[in-house]
Amino acid sequence: MRRGPSWFNLVSLTVGFAFLYLPIVLLVVWSFNASRLVTVWGGFSTRWYVALLNDSQLLDAAWITLRIGLISATAATVLGTLAAIALVRGGRFRGRTLFSGMVYAPLVMPEVIMGLSLLLLFVAMGFARGFWTVMLAHTTFTLSYVAVVVHSRLVSFDRSLEEAAQDLGCTPAQSFLQVTLPNIFPAVLAGWMLAFTLSLDDLVIASFTSGPGATTLPMRIYSQVRLGVTPEINAVCTLLIAIVATGVIIWSVAQKWRAREAVRTEAVRSG
Amino acid sequence: MNRPRSRAALLPALWLAIFFAFPFLLVLRLSLSDTALAIPPYTPRIDWSGGWEAIKAFLAALDLDMYRRLGGDRLYVDAFLSSLRFAATGTILALLVGYPMAYGMAKCRPGVRSVLLMLVILPFWTSFLIRVYAWVGILKPQGLLNGFLGMLHIPPVDLLYTPAAVQIGLVYSYLPFMVLPLYAALERLDHTLLEAAADLGSPPWKSFWQVTWPLSIPGVIAGCLLCFIPMVGEFVIPDLLGGPGSLMIGRSIWMEFFANRDWPFASAVAIVLLITLIAPILLYQRQQARALEGGV
């Protein structure tokens, strides 16, 4: 007897989502505006996208950002998945409270503090700041997000499957690779994607830990925005939004398709 | 069977100890050193070869100068207080906008719900910097908001570079962090409880206060902490949308570090910020641990 949404629910949803999406929609619209002004519609134009293609500094920054994102997301996924496994399956090992504290603290730690502390570490260790220091910093703050995503999947995963595999003669490592990993894989992938986008997006930590020659895309966008509004930035933003939206749509369609496929297999089996 | 699995903790624990925990000691140490010694190019080196004597000498050189300076500086005290004010107001506003949203989502059909959930998460996947920057175009004097007000013959408002703009930016950016835990709490709500209340003659608003609201409290706490803690240290929003009047501590650390190049002072400010946030962070962690262990 669940009642549907009332008018109040509908109004709050409409207002809330309008608030969330208005700025994003506007950016996309402005990126196709021939005029520099946001209030004047100068006709549809792709001139800012053309300008973008000729901006080698911006393209360089995008390439660096992409590489940092790929490497750090992969490293963070390995570390974060291990952390989640230890927290869910490790039992009450010594130092567990401290460990879980360290895993989850970066989620809420202000970025300025993390940036500053990592910078001091790199200076103290005598690392030259640049590509690799940003990569290490991004791995550190994104691994927590991976851990959370994988953790919630592991908790709901039926442990008896692993035990069955071991009863049938699998070593713990084999049962992990052949039973657990395929089961938690969607969460591991989601964690990777989350780590990747967080790395692409980060301005503050990258600014602290980067050095000459390793300007990331957000750092470049930030300095452009500080200098004044350039419509070119709207074009970059639209492209980024398009990439992310496509990824998310493909992901959710694939999930739905997999679910339908599973239902069908089940139906064939029982029928 | 448990032992091999806890060994999985080794690598991440080592990583976090080196890149997360240890650097805080460096920040603490730097905040206790003299500016004179540490003016950039700053190269701190711990002289381990000197043994215990060197460490003792090193400890003796520490002082609280930076903290004294910090406490005596009106500007920084004000920045701290206004950061806390901005974050508290922003959290309450996000709760006021986010609660009805999460409640409405939980009331929709399951199919619609998952689409709406994706719509809440989607902005989170798009660049934070870019979304904040979009507000510049809306709020600036010749921006969209004033264009719209002009059409309605309402005198223009000058919002960009004011505290109001920072507040809007904070609520806007952190709204998904509020909606998600609230939705998780409300979606799990047992609807038979509400039906029982209705059968017993309770009017809807009363059922809400006596059944729905108390059961959603864990979501409210999680959402508020997830908004409040990062809001206090926020840098991008006050920097892009706020003027000189909207002091926030995250921005002060950035300025001390990049503009004034006073690393020890920036470290002292960071330590004080960390101490301010330690209680809410611990509270959040307990909440998080309980929620995860509870098998959500």
Cβ within 8 Å of residue B144, ≥6 positions away? A26, A38, A39, B137, B138
CA distances to A144, A191, B9, B29, B199 from A152, rounded to whole Å, are 13, 11, 17, 37, 36
- B189 CB neighbour count, 10 Å cutoff: 16
Q: Dihedral sign for Cα B213, B215, B219, B224, please.
A: positive
Instruction: Look at A111 and B250 and tell me if their CB atoms are within 8 Å.
Output: yes
Instruction: Look at B129 and A200 and tell me if their CB atoms are within 8 Å.
Output: no
Q: Which of B2, B116, B235 lies at the smallest CB-CB distance from A90?
A: B2
Contacts of A4 in chain B (CB under 8 A): 107-109
- Tokens 């990062």 belong to residue: B230
Q: Which two tokens stand for residue A224?
A: 């452009």
pLDDT tens digits, residue range B74-111? 888 888 999 999 999 999 999 999 999 999 998 888 88
Q: Which of B8, B108, B129 lies at the smallest CB-CB distance from A201?
A: B129
Q: Which of A24, A30, A113 lies at the smallest CB-CB distance from B123?
A: A24
pLDDT tens digits, residue range B247-261? 899 988 898 888 888
Instruction: Look at B103 and A9 and tell me if their CB atoms are within 8 Å.
Output: yes
Amino acid making up residue A76: A
Domains of chain B from N-terminus onward: 68-295 (1.10.3720.10)
Amino acid making up residue B262: D
- Tokens 């209680």 belong to residue: B279
Residue B86's region, left for phi above 0, alpha for psi from -120 to 50, else beta, is alpha
Asked whether the beta carbons of A182 and B213 are under 8 A apart, the reply is no
Q: pTM value?
A: 0.85
Cα distance between residue A30 and residue B40, in whole Å: 43
Number of residue pairs across A and B with CB atoms under 8 Å? 284
Cβ within 8 Å of residue A56, ≥6 positions away? none
Q: Which of B126, B129, B250 lies at the smallest CB-CB distance from A24?
A: B126
Instruction: Look at A110 and B43 and tell me if their CB atoms are within 8 Å.
Output: no
pLDDT tens digits, residue range A116-161? 999 999 988 888 889 999 999 999 999 999 998 898 888 877 778 8
Asked whether the beta carbons of A64 and A48 are under 8 A apart, the reply is no
- B143 in contact with A, Cβ within 8 Å: yes
- B165 in contact with A, Cβ within 8 Å: no
Nearest to A104 by CA among A143, A66, A67: A143
Asked whether the beta carbons of B175 and A16 are under 8 A apart, the reply is yes
Contacts of A259 in chain B (CB under 8 A): none
Which range is most confident: A81-85, A258-262, B8-12, B124-128? A81-85
ipTM of the predicted structure?
0.84
A33 bridge partner residues: A44
Q: If you measure CA to CA, which chain B residue comes closest to A83?
A: B9
- A164 in contact with B, Cβ within 8 Å: no
Cβ within 8 Å of residue B186, ≥6 positions away? B102, B103, B105, B106, B212, B216, B219
Instruction: Look at B234 and A117 and tell me if their CB atoms are within 8 Å.
Output: no
The 3 state secondary structure assigned to A74-98 is HHHHHHHHHHHHHHHHCCCCCCHHH
